[in-house]
């Protein structure tokens, strides 16, 4: 298929919906990992087309949403240092820290710049040798290779004024944490296709076997999601578990080997805090010792900042699929896209923002 309209064909979608309804004979709960998938489900009304026996649970696959409060506060502290040019993708600027956000600091005159690639930050460092340039490296395995390449290039160039505030998180450990919870209700997963484009899906096979669940690597358009749901439901109804690849036009089992080699060269796996969830062991990337000079948290001595989550925000429970956004007392009242308490109301992939925008203009049907 060449054109996006083909992935949104109404007749094909209706056929898949009919097959899903025919297949479903009992209650099932499936989690879509990716926040982009959540937005597609809501934007195109797919949730309203599914049988009542099928529950879609929204997962923690929004990189902005799960970036820890500690990482945000580290970013805010660094951005206020004299002589610093702090760079970030635009979707991080409105994410609230403990006291403020990057956009408000920018309005106050601090040198905070939106970039479209970490290489843009590297060029800034080359052009401004008298300034410290810091790039806020967030995201899952999808964005990590470009950040790793940027650090590798900085070392080759001998740049001493460039550093990375690393907040990368990994999907499989989060899935395992969710599955290991005593109150876990999830019986199948739609895995994030873009993560698997980089990493492949071989590492999901052990998860599927250990917990005896189906995992279907799924794309992001309406037909992708409906086919992913169909394949997951078919496996559940037939009592099968394992990994299937709906997103075959992009994803292979092995993934992108060149990207993986760059990740292994620059990063090491480490424990990582997830916003609203807490510490998940071995769930993040940190810089290897040979690249420690480019670690902004160490360079600016902010690694040991202490933070406390807002008691009014239920983002952690939303990200783990334990609550719908509409079940948070602050949703749509104390927490809105213009005055967010938590990251899921800010991000373009956040479940709270999706419910606010697509469920009856902020007041969900459920």
pLDDT of residue 340: 82
> Quick check: helix, strand or coil at residue 299?
helix
Distance CA 68, CA 86 (A): 18
Shared domain check, 221 and 338:
no
For the ranges 110-124, 222-236, 311-325, the lowest mean pLDDT is seen at 311-325
> Quick check: helix, strand or coil at residue 154?
helix
Distance CA 185, CA 322 (A): 9
pLDDT digits (tens, 9 = 90+) for 163-191: 999 999 999 999 999 999 998 999 999 99
pLDDT of residue 363: 41
Full domain range(s) for residue 239: 1-314
Angle (CA) 231-50-253 rounded to 5° is 25
Shared domain check, 266 and 354:
no
The stretch 71-83 carries a mean pLDDT of 96
Distance CA 338, CA 356 (A): 11
Shared domain check, 77 and 27:
yes
Buried b (16+ CB within 10 A) or exposed e, 18-33: ebbeebbeeebebbbb
Chain position carrying tokens 């690597």: 217
Report the CATH number at residue 119.
3.40.50.11740
Shared domain check, 195 and 79:
yes
The answer to whether residues 185 and 79 touch, using CB atoms and an 8 Å cutoff, is no
Query: Does residue 228 register a pLDDT over 90?
Result: yes
* DSSP bridge pairs for 164: 135, 295
**137: confidence class by pLDDT, cuts 50, 70, 90:** very high
Does 365 reside within a domain?
Answer: no
The stretch 65-75 carries a mean pLDDT of 92
Shared domain check, 117 and 139:
yes
Query: Does residue 314 register a pLDDT over 70?
Result: yes
Query: Does residue 267 register a pLDDT over 60?
Result: yes
Shared domain check, 87 and 55:
yes
pLDDT of residue 277: 82
Shared domain check, 331 and 303:
no
Query: Does residue 82 register a pLDDT over 90?
Result: yes
Chain position carrying tokens 């419910």: 355
Higher pLDDT residue, 314 or 32?
32
**360: confidence class by pLDDT, cuts 50, 70, 90:** very low
The stretch 263-279 carries a mean pLDDT of 93
- Computed over every residue of the chain, the mean pLDDT equals 92
The secondary element (H helix, E strand) that includes residue 287 is strand 278-287
Shared domain check, 216 and 103:
yes
Does 124 reside within a domain?
Answer: yes
């Amino acid at each position: 298929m060449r054109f996006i309209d083909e992935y949104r064909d109404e007749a094909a979608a209706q056929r898949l919906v009919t097959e899903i309804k025919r297949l479903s004979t009992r209650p099932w709960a499936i989690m879509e990992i990716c926040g982009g998938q959540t937005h597609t489900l809501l934007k195109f009304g797919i949730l309203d087309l599914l049988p009542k026996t099928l529950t879609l649970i929204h997962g923690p696959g929004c990189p902005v949403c799960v970036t820890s409060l500690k990482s945000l506060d580290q970013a805010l502290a660094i951005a206020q240092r004299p002589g610093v040019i702090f760079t970030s993708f635009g979707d991080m600027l409105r994410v609230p820290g403990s006291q403020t956000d990057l956009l408000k600091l920018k309005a106050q005159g601090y040198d905070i710049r939106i970039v479209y690639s970490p290489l843009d930050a590297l060029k800034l460092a080359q052009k401004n040798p008298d300034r410290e340039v810091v790039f806020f490296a967030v995201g899952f395995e999808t964005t990590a290779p470009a950040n790793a390449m940027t650090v590798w290039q900085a070392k080759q160039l001998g740049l001493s004024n460039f550093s990375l505030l690393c907040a990368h998180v990994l999907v499989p450990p989060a899935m395992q944490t969710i599955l290991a919870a005593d109150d876990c209700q999830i019986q199948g997963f739609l895995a994030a296709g873009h993560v698997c484009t980089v990493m492949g899906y071989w590492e999901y096979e052990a998860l599927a076997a250990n917990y005896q669940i189906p995992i279907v690597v799924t794309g992001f358009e309406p037909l992708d999601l409906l086919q992913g749901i169909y394949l997951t439901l078919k496996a559940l109804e037939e009592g099968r578990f394992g990994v299937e690849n709906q997103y075959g036009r992009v994803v292979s089992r092995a993934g992108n080997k060149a990207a993986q080699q760059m990740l292994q060269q620059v990063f090491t796996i480490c424990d990582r805090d997830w916003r609203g969830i807490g510490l998940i062991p071995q769930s993040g990337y940190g810089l290897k010792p040979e690249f420690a000079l480019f670690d902004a948290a160490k360079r600016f001595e902010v690694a040991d900042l202490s933070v406390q989550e807002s008691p009014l925000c239920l983002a952690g429970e939303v990200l783990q699929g334990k609550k719908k956004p509409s079940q948070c007392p602050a949703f749509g009242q104390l927490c809105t896209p213009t005055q967010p308490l938590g990251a899921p109301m800010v991000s373009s992939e956040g479940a709270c923002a999706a419910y606010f925008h697509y469920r009856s203009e902020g007041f969900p049907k459920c």
